[in-house]
Amino acid sequence: MTSKPEPILYSSLPSNPNSQPTTVQNYVVLPIYYPTRHRFLRHLRRNFLSISLLLLLILAVFLLFPSDPELRLVRLKLNHIRVNSDHHLSLDLSLSLTLKVRNPDFFSVNYDALNVSISYRGRELGFVNSHGGRIKARGSSYVDATLLVDGFEVFHDLFYLIEDVAAGKVPFDTVSSIKGRFGLFFIKIPIQTKVSCEVDVNPKDQTIVHQNCYPEEPSYCSFEIEFQLFKN
């Protein structure tokens, strides 16, 4: 049995016998290769700039964000105290105070007034207001005030006052507060600070037998924006 002859493949002839066969060339474009070290340094430089800008922003907010001024009673003097029992039981009292106001901010603070009130067993006896002023940045100011109670008639706390005078210790409460404004460009931010003091005085020898002062929690107010128009 004879096998079939394998077919012979012939390539087609060109239409023009004198022409040369065309050679197809493929070109591959490769990207420029950057070493890994240069790429790492570039990312590191970019991250360093971003972190530096973030730290500068945090520092600016920390320095510019306003905080309430610090109020502290540095001197308290009892001028006189007297209980009158001529017709009605009444009270005369005079206290001199010196308050220190410190501005911890990097901008000046304008305060409208300093208010000092005095009370006996929760009932206000009187108050005094001082004039406003200006505290420079990172500076302090001292304010003097005198509390006067003249002929305050005691009705509700009559028996308590008699017991306190007999014991030689009459308790009073003083509350000192300051209100002002922190100004930054066209933004005006109200601020307020209070300090309370518990004072026990002896009407027999006209002395202060006990004194305890503590700051109260600050109350934050809403922001106020003021626009100023400038004339040409």
Q: In tens digits, what is the pLDDT along the chain, a chain of 232 residues?
A: 555 555 555 455 555 555 555 555 565 555 555 556 666 677 777 777 878 788 877 766 666 666 778 888 899 999 999 888 877 788 899 999 999 988 888 778 888 888 999 999 888 998 888 878 888 888 898 988 899 898 888 877 888 888 999 999 999 999 999 887 766 656 667 778 889 999 999 998 999 999 999 887 654 443 343 333 333 3
In a domain, 48, yes or no: yes
Query: Which of 44, 65, 86 lies at the terminal end of a domain, its last residue?
Result: 65
Q: For residue 24, what pLDDT is reported?
A: 54
In a domain, 4, yes or no: no
129 shares a domain with 48? no
Q: For residue 92, what pLDDT is reported?
A: 92
CB–CB of 198/210 below 8 Å? yes
Q: For residue 12, what pLDDT is reported?
A: 54
In a domain, 2, yes or no: no
174 shares a domain with 149? yes
42 shares a domain with 113? no
137 shares a domain with 49? no
213 shares a domain with 122? yes
85 shares a domain with 61? no
* Domain, as residue range, for 125: 70-225
113 shares a domain with 218? yes
Q: Cα separation of 225 and 102, whole Å?
A: 25
145 shares a domain with 46? no
Q: For residue 94, what pLDDT is reported?
A: 93
User: What pTM did the predictor assign?
Assistant: 0.65
146 shares a domain with 40? no
In a domain, 127, yes or no: yes
In a domain, 39, yes or no: yes
Q: For residue 38, what pLDDT is reported?
A: 66
In a domain, 6, yes or no: no
Query: Which of 20, 44, 65 lies at the terminal end of a domain, its last residue?
Result: 65
Task: Return the HEC string of the chain.
Answer: CCCCCCCCCCCCCCCCCCCCCCCCCCCCCCCCCCCHHHHHHHHHHHHHHHHHHHHHHHHHHHHHCCCCCEEEEEEEEEEEEEEECCCCCEEEEEEEEEEEEECCCCCCEEEEEEEEEEEECCEEEEEEEECCEEECCCCEEEEEEEEEEEEEECCCCHHHHHHHHHHCCEEEEEEEEEEEEEEECCEEEEEEEEEEEEEEEECCCCEEEEEEEEECCCCCCCCEECCCCCCC
Domain count, the chain: 2
In a domain, 119, yes or no: yes
